[in-house]
Amino acid sequence: MLIKQAPDIRSSEITPERVYRNRRQFIQAASGAVAGAVAGGTVLGRYGGTLQAQEPIPGLRKSPLSTDDEPNSYEDITSYNNFYEFGTGKEDPARYAHEMSIDPWSVRVEGEMNKPAADVAIEDLLRPHALEERIYRLRCVEAWSMVVPWVGIPLGDVIKRFEPTSKAKYVKFETLYRPEEMRGQRARSLQWPYVEGLRMDEAMHPLAILAVGMYGKTLLNQQGAPLRLVVPWKYGFKSIKSIVKMEFVEEQPRNSWNVSIPSEYGFYSNVNPDVSHPRWSQASERRIGSFFRIRTEPFNGYADQVASLYDGMDLAENY
């Protein structure tokens, strides 16, 4: 195992599964309800109070959009993370993310849409949809990658419910801002709250999902609980975590990393081995847990599905 715990971190300080609290509950439904969920309803349970982490999610259906790559281990995925709201070190999210309370949780949905603006409880946001397990590659701009078995629903299915108007060209997302619980927000590493965005056709693509779990269980805090975006053909920083706001807008949003370092981070952030980061090559990557480097694929291996979204665009200029 190549990833090691920092020597100054006591094992008691690494948050175990059972001590995470205030988790949304996914209750084991009766067999008939699960069957209905798999057929097209929801498997999301009702809120049941203060809960432990990583509740099993029943009745998942496997997605045909999954990669055939072998997923990383649970330890890899939960101990080596980028989540600057808890610190800039890769171990910081696992060490400090338990300080964030996630119950209750709602998402503010507003902007250019026919439905009225609303604060939507996470249960209500997801309830009409069946949850799927999708094994996706995740490629980070630092030239490392993972394969994660996410659990979620298509973002496009949620967007349709709010009936965006023709003025809605982009979807803007915001992360929770709560510096008393998210210690990284007390520093000036980025402008807070964290903001990301997608062009509307990107957001409606079937590969883009809102994730609520992984490995068949609910998300841990360091993974962006209770609700995060996953856009597998883009660098990982586009997959915004702990979402509290979704807004349909006419103008392209200024995403946080582009605001902070515009010469290094663009809006589109498509995985492109032919365009180097100013400080390193993106032509190869190292899968976490492996010593060897592998060739980076255009659009992170999803070119057949998404390349047509960018026909006619200069992907070096629109990085």
Flag whether pLDDT at 274 surpasses 50.
yes
* Average pLDDT of the residues of the chain: 86
Taking only the tens place, the pLDDT of each residue in 168-218 is: 999 999 999 999 999 999 999 899 999 999 999 999 999 999 999 999 999
> Would you place residue 251 in the very low, low, confident or very high pLDDT band (cuts 50, 70, 90)?
very high
Counting residues of the chain whose pLDDT is more than 70, the rounded percentage is 83
Cβ contact 115:162 at 8 Å: yes
As beta bridge partners, residue 120 has 107
Cα separation of 301 and 298, whole Å?
6
Q: What is the pLDDT of residue 202?
A: 98
Residue indicated by tokens 């309370």: 101
Flag whether pLDDT at 76 surpasses 70.
yes
Cβ contact 128:161 at 8 Å: yes
| Helix H or strand E segment including 228 | strand 228-230
More confident residue, 25 or 124: 124
Q: What is the pLDDT of residue 35?
A: 33
Q: What is the pLDDT of residue 53?
A: 57
For 70, residues 6+ apart whose C-beta sits below 8 A from its C-beta are: 147
CB atoms within 10 A of CB 249: 18
Task: Write the CA distances from 196 to 86, 175, 229, 312, integer angstroms.
Answer: 18, 9, 10, 24
Cα separation of 24 and 46, whole Å?
8
Distance between alpha carbon 290 and the CA centroid of its chain, in Å? 23
Lowest model confidence (mean pLDDT) among 45-49, 81-85, 102-106, 287-291: 45-49
Q: What is the pLDDT of residue 49?
A: 30
More confident residue, 19 or 59: 59
> Would you place residue 55 in the very low, low, confident or very high pLDDT band (cuts 50, 70, 90)?
confident
pTM for the whole structure: 0.84
Taking only the tens place, the pLDDT of each residue in 126-173 is: 988 889 999 999 999 999 999 999 999 999 999 999 999 999 999 999
More confident residue, 287 or 34: 287
Sign of torsion, CA 155 161 166 168? negative
Cα separation of 155 and 197, whole Å?
13
Q: What is the pLDDT of residue 24?
A: 40
Please state the φ and ψ torsions of residue 39, each to the nearest 5 degrees.
Answer: -75, -15
Q: Which CATH class is domain 11-306?
A: alpha beta
> Would you place residue 27 in the very low, low, confident or very high pLDDT band (cuts 50, 70, 90)?
very low
Rg over alpha carbons for the chain, rounded to the nearest Å, is 19
Flag whether pLDDT at 36 surpasses 50.
no
Domain ranges in the chain are 11-306
